[in-house]
């Protein structure tokens, strides 16, 4: 009964561990650098938000599946198989969490005055030191909100997860997938349990993100 | 340093893109002391200052500090800002709001020195009258105090050149006098060359040894002291002719 809950928590945490640093790096890049392909990167980041989840899942299978280019490399090189595995569920969750992560973190990074970063450079800090000693300490509210929202998006992922990781009881049946199968089997009580758990997580997330939101922020004054 | 001028600048900097783009050309040299960039706003003074600091990349030219090339377009030299050891005090001071006064002052120092400020840091706080304020939040400081903190922060990192963007313009008259005096003493004590941006001829005359005038659309040029003084009488309050 509790397996899907723990699995979902594990999958979402793993997804966040993977996509968190990537999302923050992309947010920093988009907030601070003006380069030629910036618009293209912006569009690519938004894509998982706009594409139907089944399409995202299909693309992931094509790339990361057993016959996909990356999938074959991972399996032969590292012995890591993503299809029908919790790691695959984490990858699907990570991809759909990316847009909300970047789009929430980016404005709070943009709000840090560039002059502060400039001064830090002249005081001898290398660019990555500036990120850790100026940008992130001042943008922490938005960054934390981004991670929290990303976690919520990751834990709720259904379509792409189902395509890549399938619905294997005791292995890849995360809560959203389990709700669907319990509902199909007519086991409304079981479906209802996970509905309540996911709803509670979502409500907590929305409240926390609201507390961290810009309305309250007097951060970078 | 075998007689090389403290600072030699020969730069063309382009900022903005498309129709909004404009170029600033400037060429000047400072044997020692204080170089004043002056002229109306929007003429490219701040842009030139930022190019000297290494914060934006000039289109061509060179910057030499005591004979060492920090930027040389012809030879492909571009020392990154963090290795130039040039102190920068921007117009709004840009104090770090997440740190107290001491945290700001020691920001550019090695970790051990940041944890436990040494004698040099304490002496610097004392020199700029910040000892009593060391634990104050920067949000609670007055304009003059903010300027002192920004100055101390730049000096603590032991720069080879100090860049000051309108350091006095936002201050009331008494703090102008006090900060101006502290600034001159701090530079003289360290024999530290400086570049100061101002739109105020009085301030220019009070600080400068060499003067460069910026006008929009024209190359910046050096002016003799008398011309600067002629634009306005000698500084009536700070004593310097």
CA distances from B159 to B56, B109, B193, B218 (A): 19, 12, 10, 31
In the sheet that B7-15 helps form, which strands lie side by side, from edge to edge? Answer: B22-30, B7-15, B60-65, B68-72, B77-78
Cβ-based neighbours of A91, under 8 Å, separated by 6 or more: A15, A18, A60, A64, A82, A164
Across the range B195-207, mean pLDDT stands at 85
Residues for chain B: how many in total? 241
Report the SS3 class of residue A113: coil
State chain A's mean pLDDT as an integer: 91
* Residue B213 dihedral angles phi and psi, to the nearest 5°: -100, 135
**Minimal-distance CA residue of chain A relative to B89:** A119
Residues of A in contact with B83 (CB under 8 A): 124
CA distances from A146 to A58, A73, A195 (A): 26, 31, 23
The pLDDT value recorded for residue B2 is 54
Put simply, whether A115 touches B (Cβ < 8 Å) is: yes
The structure tokens 């840009």 sit at B94
In the predicted model, is pLDDT for residue B205 greater than 90?
Answer: no
Rounded to an integer, what distance in angstroms lies between the CA atom of residue A219 and that of residue A137? 10
8 A C-beta contact, residue A26 and residue A103:
no
In the predicted model, is pLDDT for residue A216 greater than 50?
Answer: no
Express as a percent the part of chain A with pLDDT over 70.
Answer: 96
Across the range B147-157, mean pLDDT stands at 95
The pLDDT value recorded for residue B21 is 81
* Interval A168-212: pLDDT, tens: 898 999 999 999 999 999 999 999 999 999 999 999 998 998 888
ipTM for this prediction? 0.88
A7-21, B11-25, B35-49 — most confident range: A7-21
pLDDT, greater one: A131 or B205 = A131
The pLDDT value recorded for residue B1 is 46
The pLDDT value recorded for residue B232 is 53
Across the range A107-124, mean pLDDT stands at 95
Rounded to an integer, what distance in angstroms lies between the CA atom of residue B54 and that of residue A118? 9
CA distances from B153 to A17, A200, B126 (A): 37, 48, 13
Which of A178, A155, A159, A179 lies closest to A167 in space, CA to CA?
A178
The alpha carbon of residue B144 is apart from the nearest alpha carbon of chain A, in Å, by 18
* Interval B75-123: pLDDT, tens: 999 999 999 999 999 999 999 999 999 999 999 999 988 999 999 999 9
Q: Which of A119, A123, A138 sits opposite B98 (nearest CB)?
A: A138
Which pLDDT band, with edges at 50, 70 and 90, does B193 fall under? very high
Per the CB < 8 Å rule, is B157 touching A124? yes
In the predicted model, is pLDDT for residue B35 greater than 50?
Answer: yes
In the predicted model, is pLDDT for residue A220 greater than 70?
Answer: no
Put simply, whether B146 touches A (Cβ < 8 Å) is: no
Across the range A49-69, mean pLDDT stands at 92
The pLDDT value recorded for residue A217 is 44
The pLDDT value recorded for residue A71 is 87
Return the CA Rg of chain B.
Answer: 18
The pLDDT value recorded for residue B229 is 67
The pLDDT value recorded for residue B214 is 86
Which pLDDT band, with edges at 50, 70 and 90, does A80 fall under? confident
Task: Give residue B3's region: left, alpha or beta (phi > 0; psi -120 to 50).
Answer: left
8 A C-beta contact, residue B107 and residue B138:
no
Residues of B in contact with A123 (CB under 8 A): 82, 87, 107-108, 153-154, 157
A62-66, B13-17, B192-196, B231-235 — most confident range: B192-196
* Interval A140-160: pLDDT, tens: 999 999 999 999 999 999 999
């Amino acid at each position: 009964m509790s397996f899907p809950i723990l699995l979902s928590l594990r999958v979402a945490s793993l997804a966040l561990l993977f996509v968190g640093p990537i999302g923050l790096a992309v947010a920093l890049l988009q907030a601070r650098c003006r380069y030629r392909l910036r618009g293209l990167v912006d569009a690519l980041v938004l894509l998982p938000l706009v594409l139907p989840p089944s399409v995202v899942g299909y693309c992931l299978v094509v790339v990361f599946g057993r016959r996909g280019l990356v999938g074959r490399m991972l399996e032969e090189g590292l012995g890591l198989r993503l299809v029908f595995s919790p790691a695959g569920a984490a990858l699907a969750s990570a991809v759909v969490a990316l847009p909300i992560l970047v789009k929430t973190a980016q404005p709070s990074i943009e709000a840090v005055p560039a002059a502060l970063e400039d001064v830090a450079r002249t005081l001898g800090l290398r660019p990555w030191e500036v990120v850790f000693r100026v940008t992130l300490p001042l943008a922490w509210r938005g960054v934390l909100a981004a991670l929290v929202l990303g976690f919520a998006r990751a834990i709720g992922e259904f379509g792409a997860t189902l395509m890549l990781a399938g619905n294997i009881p005791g292995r890849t049946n995360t809560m959203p997938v389990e709700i669907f199968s319990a509902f199909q089997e007519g086991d409304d009580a079981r479906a209802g349990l996970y509905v309540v758990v996911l709803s509670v997580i979502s409500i907590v997330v929305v409240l926390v993100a609201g507390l961290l939101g810009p309305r309250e922020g007097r951060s970078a004054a | 340093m075998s007689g090389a001028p403290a600072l030699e600048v020969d730069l063309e900097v382009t900022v903005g893109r498309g129709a909004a783009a404009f170029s600033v050309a400037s060429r000047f040299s400072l044997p020692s002391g204080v170089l004043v960039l002056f002229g109306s706003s929007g003429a490219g003074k701040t842009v030139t200052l930022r190019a000297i600091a290494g914060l934006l990349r000039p289109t061509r030219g060179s910057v030499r500090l005591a004979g060492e090339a920090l930027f040389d377009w012809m030879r492909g030299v571009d020392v990154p800002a963090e290795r130039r050891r040039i102190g920068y005090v921007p117009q709004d001071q840009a104090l770090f709001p997440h740190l107290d006064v001491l945290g700001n002052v020691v920001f550019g120092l090695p970790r051990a020195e940041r944890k436990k400020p040494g004698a040099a840091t304490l002496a610097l706080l004392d020199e700029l009258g910040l000892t009593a304020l060391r634990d104050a939040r920067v949000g609670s400081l007055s304009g003059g105090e903010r300027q002192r903190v920004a100055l101390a922060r730049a000096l603590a990192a032991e720069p080879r050149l100090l860049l000051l963007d309108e350091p006095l313009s936002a201050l009331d008259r008494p703090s102008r006098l006090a900060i101006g005096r502290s600034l001159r003493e701090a530079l003289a004590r360290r024999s530290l060359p400086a570049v100061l941006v101002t739109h105020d001829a009085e301030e220019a005359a009070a600080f400068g040894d060499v003067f460069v005038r910026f006008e929009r659309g024209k190359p910046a040029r050096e002016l003799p002291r008398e011309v600067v003084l002629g634009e306005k009488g000698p500084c009536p309050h700070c004593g310097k002719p």
